[in-house]
Chain A
Amino acid sequence: MNKTFLVMRHEFWRHVTRRSFIFAILGMPTIMLLVAGGIILFFRGKADDPVGVVDQARVTMAPEAYQKITPDSVPFILFTNETAARSALTQDEIQAYIVIPADYLETGKVTLYHWGNVFEEVGSEVADYMRASLLADSDPALLERFRDNELDINFISLSPNGGSNSVFNIILPFIIGFIFLISIFSTSGFLLQAIVDEKENRTMEILLASLKPSQLMTGKILGLVALGFVQIGVWLGLVAAGIAIAQANIPQFEPIAFSRSAVLVAVGWFVPFYVMVAALITAIGISITAVSEGQQMVGIISISSMFPLYFTGLIIENPNSALSLTLSLIPFSAPLTMLTRSQITTIPVWQYGASWGILAGTAVLAIFLVSRLLQFGLLRYGKKLTWRETVTALRSR
């Protein structure tokens, strides 16, 4: 069996069964779900509580009538005076109450009293109730239109590249990109640890007595890429499930339109990017004697990869600008930039080719140089490689 494949399989199974990996793969989504669920439950419970009404202007319609035309709204309860409403609030029977002063029709002002935090949406619920009350005596058709107050606009693009995008569709590439980056840098920690250990205890020497440095490095890196894709697969699966659940349960949630080119970029760009980062992490592992010494350098690589985030607004605003193109050509920023651009514009084919070619070329070059560095770094167990030694190693042999 091919030795590169044997190393890859070994590295994959060795790390995928680690408790820390299983915790990372399941722990993060679990924590996020628990936090999100907790927030939703807290506000949902609170948001469904009734709102009291003290109507000194006598302008509101009967809460029962309002409930009939807007069954999804929060329930309203009329109180004859503020004292009764305040008492209901302190006894947690209502989430808030409004006082409509006698001069409301002149001023248009109402006051909302609440205890502690209040669900922000209660403001628009009150506004809807007030509007419905003011229109109560109008044409029933008008009232019906009011009840179904969503404005249904049909967007039609007259240019070939145009299209409408919800904010979520524009942000989605960043979410996906983030997931890739988090996965890359979390699994790279395993690689860094493994390289440092194998170098310091000389297991690396035993391995190199059996196969070529390039086979060893390629196997290790591909094993890590496979590991990362398992993690990404699980996370993206959970994101997809979350979106599907949201679409099924929240009518306002718009369908996700993830373009084919964006899918192509997500896979095609992040694989060589992963390989490149893994090779650089390996180089760091060879050059140091303890993992803690490499954290700073790993940090620099991860910050460089997040670089497009600082220009998010500019990329979205003008996805074909010189800045967007430049960031697409720099290997570190290419994946996130290309993913974002591919979702909101049509990228010229040559730019796809140039961006991918530079990134993939850098990844291959990184493996080649790391294989060279490995032979030199092996001699330096217990000692860090200096920059001069690193350059000498890369130029030798």
Chain B
Amino acid sequence: MSTVVLEHVNKRFGKTQAANDISFRVEPGEILGLLGPNGAGKTTTIRMMLDILRPDNGRIAIFGGPMTEEKKNRIGYLPEERGLYADLKLMDVILYLSSLKGMRKETAVTAAETFLKKLDLWEHKDKKMSALSRGMHQKAQFIVTVLHDPDLIIVDEPFSGLDPVNTELIRQMLLDLRSQGKAIIMSTHQMHQVEAMCDHIVLIHHGKIILDGAVDEVRRRFAGNTVEVSGTGPFDQLPQIQLAQHHNRTWQLTLAEDATPNDLLRELVQNDAITIEHFSIALPSLNEIFIRIVGESD
């Protein structure tokens, strides 16, 4: 059973079509990257999943059906630009928000201790939120999101305000949660994190999905006619090559219009003046794909 299913979901606010025929699925043990420029409709889509907003039409199924109060207890949500209660102590905030997820106080205290120690916040548990740094806020919010052991985790810019050490810590925790079979939806503009962590991406622009697929498949789809080669020889003088660029002992070879990677590989093998150490199809980064596809659809 898919953890999340959206089928032909639409939502309009006045003249703005915030979600236009949105469809995708999220499976247990999968991280979905929900991508898009600012104002694309990502947050509206998340809010509809959480039942904060109702779609105008279409179907949303969470854990196999419509949202219920019991199901809300199985979801962890980390919105962007959060502040929490500045005048309350960290531990009190954690206990209050976990109680709203149906956690018993004793269980929450034990779990909170584990997470606070893991994220180096234990000694700050009795401080008011207003006394914590931005990074500490972020970690506290992350604890609130996962403390109740949710089966669906939705995180919006989870690495915002974190230093590299804490970024790695949160990243690893998310990967661990995936390996435990949790479904994770991650919305972020940090494309290298998406590339490294996500199994699947959905790119929304102007409320519409303009790209959808597994990360490797999407990168291959946008690979184009470029290969990466390392070794020795006159790579830039081969007839199948339109453009050759040399970076850090690696050649990026853009093929001529009628040439294929197979043609080039055959030529490289047969050419005695050339020795090959590495040959691969050059895959564009998700960042490049994002800029290209959003630019094209504008």
| Interface majority SS (helix, strand, loop, mixed), chain A | helix
The 8 closest A-B pairs by CB, nearest first: A201-B83, A210-B100, A209-B77, A205-B79, A208-B52, A202-B79, A209-B50, A10-B96
> Is B72 on the interface with A (CB-CB < 8 A)?
yes
Bound: A389/B101 CA distance, A = 32
Which A residues contact B (CB, under 8 angstroms)? 1, 3, 6-7, 10, 14, 18, 197, 200-203, 205-212, 375, 378-379, 389, 392, 397
Residue in A202, A212, A375 whose beta carbon sits within 8 Å of that of B82 in the complex: A202
Q: With A1-B99, A211-B69 in contact, do A203 and B13 touch (Cβ < 8 Å)?
A: no
For chain B, give the interface size range. Answer: 20 to 34
Residue in A203, A205, A389 whose beta carbon sits within 8 Å of that of B85 in the complex: A203
Q: With A1-B99, A14-B88 in contact, do A209 and B52 touch (Cβ < 8 Å)?
A: yes
> Is B75 on the interface with A (CB-CB < 8 A)?
yes
Bound: A397/B82 CA distance, A = 26
Residue in A14, A210, A389 whose beta carbon sits within 8 Å of that of B72 in the complex: A210
Residue in A205, A206, A392 whose beta carbon sits within 8 Å of that of B144 in the complex: A206
> Is B113 on the interface with A (CB-CB < 8 A)?
no
Q: 1/0 per position for B114-125, CB-CB distance to A under 8 A? A: 000000000000
Closest to B75 in A: A209
Bound: A207/B81 CA distance, A = 15
> Is B97 on the interface with A (CB-CB < 8 A)?
yes
Cβ of A201: which chain B residues have Cβ within 8 Å of it? 81-84
Whether the pair A206, B72 counts as a contact (CB closer than 8 A) is no
Which B residues contact A (CB, under 8 angstroms)? 13-14, 44, 47, 50, 52-54, 69, 72-73, 75, 77, 79-88, 96-97, 99-101, 144
Closest to A200 in B: B83
Cβ of A3: which chain B residues have Cβ within 8 Å of it? 69, 100
Cβ of B80: which chain A residues have Cβ within 8 Å of it? 202
Q: Beyond A6-B100, A203-B83, A379-B44: 20 further Cβ-contacts under 8 Å?
A: A1-B99, A3-B69, A3-B100, A6-B99, A7-B100, A10-B96, A14-B87, A201-B81, A202-B82, A205-B47, A206-B144, A207-B97, A207-B100, A210-B101, A211-B69, A211-B72, A375-B53, A378-B52, A379-B47, A397-B54
Bound: A10/B98 CA distance, A = 12
Whether the pair B13, A379 counts as a contact (CB closer than 8 A) is yes
Residue of A6, A7, A10 most packed against chain B (CB within 10 A): A10
Q: With A375-B53, A378-B52 in contact, do A206 and B77 touch (Cβ < 8 Å)?
A: yes
